[in-house]
Structure 1
Amino acid sequence: YAALTLAALALGGVAFVGYWVHGEFGKLHSGQSTELALAQERIAELSRQLASERSAREELRATLTGRLDTELAALGNTQVLHAGNAARSADELRGSLTLVQGSVARLDDALSRLERHDGELLTLQKHVNDLQIGARESQEWMEAEIEALRADQAAQPQAAPVEERPSWWPLVQQLKNESVSERYGALVALAATRDPAAAQHVLPLLSDQDIFLRMAAARTLGDLGNPIAVEPLIQTLEDSEGVVREAAYLSLRAITRRDLPFDAQSNDAAERAKRVKAWREWWDKEKPKFAGN
């Protein structure tokens, strides 16, 4: 019975190993990096189990052989002491021998299965080696692609740096709003920046349909102090509304530091035209002096 128990344990171990190996084969494709590490751990574990099973096989063979020798010796003693019972003892010995031979046959079958799993283990090792080779080739390919991309990037002309927008840039976008109050608020806020660079964005509002926006635009240009507004402001001196003309005149004086006479509220169109002409003639002569400002 001890032999049968050992054989059963060996068979159970083999079945466990076979089940475990096949299960792990199914997981092998889950991910290449993890697959390599897990496969190598499996190989080590299977190798340890194979060694253990082989050792158990040898121990079982030795045990069975020893038992057979013991039984044969006992048979010899029995024949000497109990000649009349020799036939019965021989039958018992043959029965024991049959059991032992059956156990040995089952053990050989189990070991044969184990050898087949040993072959599967070699196949697994080859698969792992193939995966390692494939991983190295993939890495080399990726490195080559990266180098090629870097080379292409280096060969491309460098793009011009993106111009950094000033902090008041959102106000410029607000000047395009359909709401009069929104555009007016943007003009007031731009005037507070005192940044001459904002003047070019205010100039179009000198022609706005709304009188208050034209007046606010003229005042804002004076606060910004950019000479590019001088000519448009001289033209605004001819606006149909006195309050707009007044704002343009005050801004002209602030930018040019020139106090040419002009009555923005005069109803004498001819006199206003004369004063506007004087401003234009003066600006034509003095404009080069403001070019660097």
Structure 2
Amino acid sequence: MNLFDCEKAIPPLVSALKSRDATVRRFAAYTLGQIKSKEVLQPLIDVLVFDTDGFVKEEAAKALGKIKSSQAIEPLIDALMDQKNKGRSGAAEALGQIKAENAIDHLIAALTDTDDFTRLAAAKALGRIKPEKAVGPLINSLYDCNRFVKAEVAGTLKKICTEEDRPRLQALLDSEDDFTANLAFEILESIEMEEILKTELFLDWE
């Protein structure tokens, strides 16, 4: 679809956001996310705030993440913190795509959300922002009850952890949960490789 076709498609898609059919609203939100026009920011924010269907709210949040406007950050934070919102994972994902640093504390809090998908999305979002203050809570999340969440957490820790975090990770090597212990070992290996690369770069500069 070229730019002209995209612009022509926006009005009917915005209208479809008000359809009585949740599937239609969800598809409209998804498609607007693919177009990525800031022109549709407010209609998508309205869906995020007022729609009653969790799947539609989730898709609207993801669309806002693709548009990457700072105007969407506060509504997305509110959506992430709203425990009645079944589309919280979409809000977490969007905040990561926008790299919203003012949402870091909220994303850290979402690591203990009751919803598996929200915890996973929060871990992934923190991996995009890479805040050092999230290392402790992320290490705690290696004890998460969901293996997929644990794996995402480990991937994020590989991006953030430094030599200073080694002691806490080494303590996990003795975990009764073999999966957690293996993930801790992988993160420690990642830190080791990073240190080796730094040493090699330093030697190359000499």
Sort the TM-score into its range (normalised by shorter chain): 0.3 to 0.5
TM superposition score normalised by structure 2: 0.45
TM superposition score normalised by structure 1: 0.33
Quick check: which has more Rg, 1 or 2?
1
